[in-house]
A and B are shown apart, each in its own frame.
Chain A
Amino acid sequence: MSRRTRGIVFGAGALGLAALLLWGFGGLPSFGDFQGRYGELLAKSAVPERHATETVAVTTFDYRGFDTLGEEFILFAAAVGVLVLLRIQRGADEIPAEAGKRRPTAHSPALRSVAIAFAGPALVLGLYVVAHGHLTPGGGFQGGVILMTAFLLVYLAGAHLREGGIRPIVAMEVAEATGAAGFTLIGVGGMLLAGAFLENFIGLGTVGSLLSGGDIPLLNVTVGVEVMGALLVVLGELLDQRMLTRGGDS
């Protein structure tokens, strides 16, 4: 279709869709006036029943934990998908000589020193956010992203991640798989030890302490590891591509 025809089809559709959306949204409760009993019930039960003060984390990992399992695996599938989609074909793509040697990426001392300076604190912050997910805002997903940033800063500083012959991408794959499988295993543990899949089987602890909330901190850790691993896999693949396209073909 020519651009004009496409524009006309879309324009007509968009007008109709806009009308539909405004008509539909008009039936929503006015902003600030939501009366849903489900959320209220969970907000009231979070502290007395689960001994955790962060209601969103309790909802994500306890009441609706099964959704989070699916969500985790979506991230996992996307990371594996990126691996698959960006894989190097034998002989089909040129791997420039420099890529194999992993030259440092940063030539500016300022960038290097700032990045290295922040990598440590970022790691600590990430671990803090993961560990306190059931008490204050944060949790596995958010903490995992911060942990990923810590490693990214190391990369930006130009330091080499390859130690002991293990390719970093493989290590990250193991990390994400462990996180994802770990979540599922905790669920199965719930089935075996407590009766239902993802039912809590650890003691609830006292409200406000680090080890409260039952298995929520544990699930936060698995999610944090998984998110960090998956995002590093994705970033690693995309950054590898940058090195390939720059050095090799046009």
Chain B
Amino acid sequence: MELAPLTVAVPLLAAGGLTAASSRVSRATAEVVALAAVLALAALCAIILARTASGTEVYWFGGWEPRADIAIGVSFAVDAIGAGLATLVSGLMIAALVLMWRYRDTDAPHFQVLMLIFVAGMVGFCLSGDLFNMFVFFELMSVAGFALAGYKVEEQEAVEGSLNFAITNTIGSFMLLTGIALVYGRTGALNLAQIGESLAAGHVDGLVIVAFALLAAGFLVKAAVVPFHFWLADAYAVAPTPVCLLFAGAMSELGVYGIGRVWFDCFAGTLALHDDSLRLVLIVAGSLTALLGATMAFAQDHLKRLLAFATIAYVGIFLIGLGLLTSAGVAGAALYVVADGCGKAALFAAVAIVQHRRLHVSERRLRGEGRELPYTAAIFALGALSFASLPPFGSFFAKSVIEDELIKQGYGAVLAVLILTSALTCGAVLRLIGRVFLGWGPVSDREPSRDEEAAPEEEISSARTPAIMFVPALALALASLVIGVIPGTVEAVQAAALHFTDGSSYARVVLDGAAPAAVATPPPYSAPPHAYLYAAITFGTAVGLAGLALFGRRLAPRGSDPLRRLGHAAIGSLHGVHSGHVGDYVAWLVAGVAALGGAFALALS
């Protein structure tokens, strides 16, 4: 556990060093140093993951151990889920840096410096055991993210997207901070375990509920759950694609992780009696997010916005998994985060290749232009299959774990949400493959409007895809496949989830230095037969939807015109709500916080 501070110190030192030498260091040196730092980081996280597989381990900064049951220092309290997320984050960062190798006008070393700080912030957030420390790393990650999103500052869209991102997320952070202040006012503590003990010994009143609502709201803004999600598509559309890879695969998921960490370690002890109602609220929120994200994804022409809304859709599913508030739900969500994170990152990497070769990201404009890119098409196909949660992809096992738990908790109806979400997102990618790589689909009757285009991220298109761009894309796609195939992964995640949800054992480990409670090794997991059925239904629906989108106009019967117009009107109004105006976004944010607080008030009092 002595290695834990190095996970933050190494990237930050590299960042400081690169900046100190910024006028004299060449682009190649900066890239090499950054890559070396992140490789070291990934190795450290992997070692920590191996160490914490058997339970939580604690590291006290400054050597300040708890005294008289009060935690006086800041701690890293790492369990397998946190360490696993940190490893995922560093792995994705390696892929992003390798992908970025080819971009000619990166402002080195400042770009690498921002990426290093970004990864340090994310890793610190995953490993931290102190509420205010989590906030500090949350902000570190956010600030670096704002600058990275606005990186292509010569374009109008980048400035606006970054502004929307920055303003909404900053307000989300204030909600978070207000929640932290309330918790501190009640408990006088900032350490997660100590807060948990203190709250559990007290009574539930307005303060506890509002504090949890504000903390959840802050995290949900980062996670981009409806109605806090508006900023995400704007930010993804304008950020450089390797940065989107990190946003999609790591940053949004950290919001869901934050809620889980705070719930199980701080609030579960005191609010556990109201589990069922909270479960309902979280699952409803997750379902709304999943359906909205999936629908909007299917209705997008801009490739990166399509993937952005797909990210929102999957965050909805992660929230459903977490919202079940059981270890099985957490296990499913955690596994899904890893598998889906790799899959989405692979898709973003593939989009980067398409941009490199063809400059555009509008699906209609790219129609048929992908015919000479068969390998890129293969990566898109792998990504689509991962979205459909087909076996043997990791997402299949993750989804079947969540499905079983949903049925067990009496939420069988939500299975339809899962199936529909996967079908829509997979269908969107299949439609994309058909249109771009096979040239199917109707010829566009209108030019894409300016906001459906993105300015090219490079000056000229290339004749070949450099291998260095292809390797991360392929590696990520294979990772999402391999996660499901390696024996023991599902059981390891289930064991990790058991530790994650055990708040009282966590408190004993952190405050008393006790050894973590042993958990029974879960039995080998095999997906029940109905999971295969659902996967088949999902994929079939996806193919059907894609086919409808590509060929529907030719086959549509006469009488479906009013139906089609209704559909267009509905989609049009959804598009209209996503107006790009930051005032709208903040208005929805405030309304969302009020609604969330109201829902919690009803559920938890």
CA distance A74 to B592 in the complex (A): 28
The closest CB in chain B to the CB of A21 belongs to: B210
* Contact among A36, A77, A178 with B117 in the assembled complex (CB-CB below 8 Å): A77
Chain A residues with a Cβ closer than 8 Å to the other chain, count: 75
The closest CB in chain A to the CB of B189 belongs to: A38
- Interface mask (A164-192 → B, CB under 8 Å = 1, otherwise 0): 00000010011011101100110110110
Contact status B207-A27, CB under 8 Å: yes
A residues less than 8 Å from B136 (CB atoms): 67, 70-71, 74
Would A9 and B591 be within 8 Å (CB), given that A27-B208, A173-B19, A177-B16 are in contact? Answer: yes
A residues less than 8 Å from B594 (CB atoms): 12-17, 19-20
Contact status B147-A80, CB under 8 Å: yes
A99 interface contact, C-beta 8 A: no
CA distance A23 to B17 in the complex (A): 48
Contact status A180-B12, CB under 8 Å: yes
B residues less than 8 Å from A184 (CB atoms): 9, 12-13, 16
A residues less than 8 Å from B213 (CB atoms): 20
A137 interface contact, C-beta 8 A: no
Contact status A26-B207, CB under 8 Å: yes
The closest CB in chain B to the CB of A195 belongs to: B63
B residues less than 8 Å from A76 (CB atoms): 15-16, 19, 117
Contact status B590-A10, CB under 8 Å: yes
Contact status A181-B17, CB under 8 Å: yes
A interface: dominant SS: helix
* Contact among B20, B60, B71, B589 with A173 in the assembled complex (CB-CB below 8 Å): B20
CA distance A197 to B153 in the complex (A): 38
- Interface mask (B165-187 → A, CB under 8 Å = 1, otherwise 0): 00000000000001000101111
Contact status A180-B62, CB under 8 Å: no
Q: Choose among A64, A188, A200 the residue with the greatest number of B CB atoms under 10 Å from its CB.
A: A64
B498 to chain A minimum Cβ distance, whole angstroms, is: 29
Q: Choose among A20, A36, A74, A85 the residue with the greatest number of B CB atoms under 10 Å from its CB.
A: A20
- Interface mask (A190-220 → B, CB under 8 Å = 1, otherwise 0): 1100111111100000000000000000000
A39 to chain B minimum Cβ distance, whole angstroms, is: 7
Please give 16 more A-B residue pairs, beta carbons under 8 A apart, in addition to A1-B577, A17-B593.
Answer: A6-B583, A7-B587, A13-B593, A16-B598, A20-B601, A37-B188, A39-B188, A64-B74, A69-B12, A76-B19, A84-B111, A84-B151, A86-B153, A92-B154, A196-B61, A196-B63
Closest 9 CB pairs of A and B: A16-B594, A27-B207, A36-B188, A24-B210, A81-B147, A181-B16, A13-B591, A197-B5, A13-B590
Interface residues of B (CB under 8 A from A): 2, 5, 8-9, 12-13, 15-20, 22-23, 59-64, 67-68, 70-74, 107, 110-111, 113-114, 117, 120-121, 124, 130, 132-133, 136-137, 139-140, 143-144, 146-147, 150-151, 153-154, 162, 178, 182, 184-190, 205-211, 213-214, 576-577, 579, 581, 583-584, 586-595, 597-598, 601
Interface residues of A (CB under 8 A from B): 1, 6-7, 9-10, 12-17, 19-21, 23-29, 34-39, 41-42, 45, 62-67, 69-71, 73-74, 76-78, 80-87, 89, 92, 170, 173-174, 176-178, 180-181, 184-185, 187-188, 190-191, 194-200
- What are 8 pairs between A and B in contact, CB < 8 Å? A1-B587, A38-B72, A70-B140, A84-B110, A174-B20, A184-B13, A198-B61, A198-B62
